Amino acid sequence: MKKFQTLIHGAILALACLFLSQCSTTPTRQDKTEKMHPNDPFRSTMVPSQFFEVAAETDNVVMGTGGTRIALPKGCLTDGRGRVYEGPAKIELAEALQLSDMLRSNLTTTSGGKPLVTDGMVYFNATTADGEQLYVNKDKPVYIEIPTNERQPGMMAYRGVRDENGNMDWVEPKEIENYLVPVDIKSLDFYPKNFEATVAAILPFNGHELADKAFTDSLYFSFNFSTLKQLMQALDEEMPEYNEPHHNKHKQIVDGKYTDDSYEVQPRQDSPTDSAAVEMPECGIDPASVKVIWSEDYQNSLLATREFEARMKLIHQTCHISVLEAYVKNLDRNLWELDSMAADAIMALPSSEEVHGTQDILPFHRTSEMEHVAEEFRAMSHQRLTKIKDGNIYAELLRGHYEKQLKAVQSELEAKQKEALKAWREGSPAAKKMATEYKEILWKREQHRMSSYGFEWSGNGWINVDEGTVPKTWGPQQLEVLVETGPSFDRVHTYVVYSSIKSLYRLNSSDQRVFHVGNADERLMNMPKQARAIAITVGYKKEVPYLAIEEFTTGAAQLKLTPNPTTELELQKTLSLFDQYSKENQVSVDLAYQAFFFREKQKRLEKREKLKGLIKCVIACCEHENEGPIIQSEYVN
């Protein structure tokens, strides 16, 4: 806020105390400074009061609409007998921070008839809930901070005395102690740039319609560096494609049953939850470190201040944990000293020129943008901001706490991330349920075909249908169906129906163009020899169905189908030809499952894009000036 060079020379004061006369523990009548006389001629234009209800037996911080903060430590208020007051209290605050407020309230800035240069004025008073006057305990004073763009050296706090004619005199000047005022640390914003805005933009997400702090925190901390690479790997995984397991090369039978993974057409890599944690390069501020300091443990330290909140924004821009630790590990020092240390930590990093041309993994280096941030820290150090009152006590209590707690937090977040990764791989509860149902369909479909080949068995267990020595009317044969226009569809499915045994098989494909029986390597399956069969391709473009159907004789190695647009009614009419088949062998039943899995895949892709946007906020530092990203991933592109 600008300085007004007018008759009253005014704008905003770093600290102003209109309550200084209340610092006695033996109150007298003059201990109460009236805001104004009942007959004050400026009564109608006087700045209005704001009222706050607090519990005097606890620490409290109240903030006025103009930005004035009043810290009321437990025990700071006394009653008329000088006894510490505990109970409900009413705090009155009036702010005259603008020149217009001062003029309307006739808050002239003179002391003993001499003009003062003012930086703002406030009125403070405290009473019980019943209106009895309370007083400030001189052993535990109230602390008031008035907002200013720049703290000016040599500013003093004056007690104001106002007469019945509305004239002000400022007396009893007192030097201002520039202590920092702690606030509720959970009310501060320690997120990286744009993180909260990105969270708000992706809503609704995971059943959340509003981005409250608990939800935003859970997202941010889930990107801790020790498991972030694993998360990024998991996000790249496609949803599994399920089909009959008999021809899958990785199938396994345990206790006479196929394992769940046996139904997956392409086996997935080992779960990243089973691999060792791999830390990210030092190119950002690990959310685990932020979680450690963003806690009640640091409530009474300088980290729980608006001033540090402003610095936290810059710390994220520096991209290096050493800058954060300059503050965390030196809580007993003045804030201006830490600002200087932060600038030094940035400039101590190797420059781009020093690491240019290295053949190893590119080490983290100092960029021109970071040097600009270092200059901002230097400028902040010139403000000469000090520390929290009694901050040395809390600094001593917290010595060594950060390192110890960081390990515990990392372990906690890694355990949560493993559960989250497992849930991501398994999909939603509805998807898990449908996958289980579909696997049962596939098992019955395969069992039907095996039985149709003329084998009988009793009891449990699996039967290996092989060539054997007895001539058979079936055998392993190749079959590919080429759908040239397949990639143009949102989704497309190809089936073969063996009419002689009323059996259905859905062909596999990796590109929606070439569909094949069996696995991708052998492309063989057991089928009737020289028997009538039907190939069916059903595709969808924005839910508009396309259909191709062709009858053929088994033994043909390749077919070519071109789906043409149709209507849902005509499609169902065509597929009704197979309604006489058992449920597991009906094309319409399989299509219903495929439609569900497609919708789940779309939801998953949408969720993945949202998570990628959040990850980009967290690892934005992992992209180097003119060098490309350290982490070769789409997430930082």
pLDDT digits (tens, 9 = 90+) for 420-462: 888 888 888 999 999 999 999 999 999 998 887 764 333 345 5
Q: Provide the whole-model pTM.
A: 0.68
Half-sphere exposure for 516 (CA within 13 Å, toward CB)? 17
> Residue 440: its pLDDT value, please?
95
Give the span between the Cα atoms of 302 and 295, in whole angstroms. Answer: 13
> Residue 627: its pLDDT value, please?
39
**Per-residue pLDDT averaged across 605-611, rounded?**
94
- In 485-531, DSSP assigns E strands to 491-498, 503-506, 514-516, 524-528
Residue 269 pLDDT class (50, 70, 90 cuts): low
Give the span between the Cα atoms of 39 and 269, in whole angstroms. Answer: 83
Residue 9 has pLDDT above 50, yes or no: no
> Residue 139: its pLDDT value, please?
83
Residue 263 has pLDDT above 70, yes or no: yes
> Residue 454: its pLDDT value, please?
61
H/E run at residue 185:
none
Query: What is the residue-averaged pLDDT of the chain?
Result: 82
> Residue 460: its pLDDT value, please?
44
Residue 292 pLDDT class (50, 70, 90 cuts): very high
Residue 618 has pLDDT above 60, yes or no: yes
Residue 549 has pLDDT above 90, yes or no: yes
**221-235, 325-339, 432-446: lowest mean pLDDT where?**
221-235
> Residue 227: its pLDDT value, please?
86
Q: What is the pLDDT of residues 340-352, one digit of tens each?
A: 999 999 998 887 6
CATH class of 474-585: mainly beta
| Pairing relationship of beta strands 564-565 and 143-145 according to DSSP bridges | unpaired
Q: What is the pLDDT of residues 556-599, one digit of tens each?
A: 889 999 999 999 999 999 999 999 999 999 999 999 999 999 99
Residue 326 has pLDDT above 50, yes or no: yes
Residues 6+ apart with CB under 8 A from 395: 301, 331, 332
More confident residue, 368 or 541: 541
Residue 602 has pLDDT above 80, yes or no: yes
> Residue 247: its pLDDT value, please?
85
DSSP state of 276: P
**286-300, 372-386, 504-518, 612-626: lowest mean pLDDT where?**
612-626
Residues 6+ apart with CB under 8 A from 296: 185
Task: Identify the burial level of 454 via C-beta atoms within 10 angstroms of its C-beta, where 0-12 means exposed, 13-18 middle and 19 or more buried.
Answer: exposed
Residue 625 has pLDDT above 60, yes or no: no
- Torsion sign, CA atoms 108, 110, 114, 117: negative
| Tokens linked to 347 | 């400039």
**Per-residue pLDDT averaged across 256-265, rounded?**
89
Residue 8 has pLDDT above 70, yes or no: no
> Residue 162: its pLDDT value, please?
85
> Residue 467: its pLDDT value, please?
47
> Residue 630: its pLDDT value, please?
37
More confident residue, 629 or 555: 555
More confident residue, 191 or 234: 191
**Per-residue pLDDT averaged across 202-223, rounded?**
92
Of the ranges 150-164, 437-451, 477-491, the best mean pLDDT one = 477-491
Residues 6+ apart with CB under 8 A from 56: 72, 74, 76, 77, 85, 86, 87, 88, 89, 134
More confident residue, 509 or 15: 509
Residue 374 has pLDDT above 60, yes or no: yes
Residue 119 pLDDT class (50, 70, 90 cuts): low
Residue 259 has pLDDT above 50, yes or no: yes
Residue 252 has pLDDT above 80, yes or no: yes
> Residue 469: its pLDDT value, please?
44
Q: What is the pLDDT of residues 379-427, one digit of tens each?
A: 999 988 888 877 777 788 788 899 999 999 999 999 998 888 888 888 8
SS3 339: helix
Residue 538 has pLDDT above 70, yes or no: yes
Q: What is the number of other CB atoms lying within 10 angstroms of the CB of residue 51? A: 11
**Per-residue pLDDT averaged across 596-614, rounded?**
94
Domain boundaries, the chain: 20-178, 195-241+274-424, 474-585
Give the span between the Cα atoms of 614 and 635, in whole angstroms. Answer: 9
> Residue 135: its pLDDT value, please?
93
**Per-residue pLDDT averaged across 15-38, rounded?**
49
> Residue 277: its pLDDT value, please?
44
Residue 87 pLDDT class (50, 70, 90 cuts): very high
H/E run at residue 212:
none
Residue 525 has pLDDT above 50, yes or no: yes
**34-43, 367-376, 391-400, 486-495: lowest mean pLDDT where?**
391-400
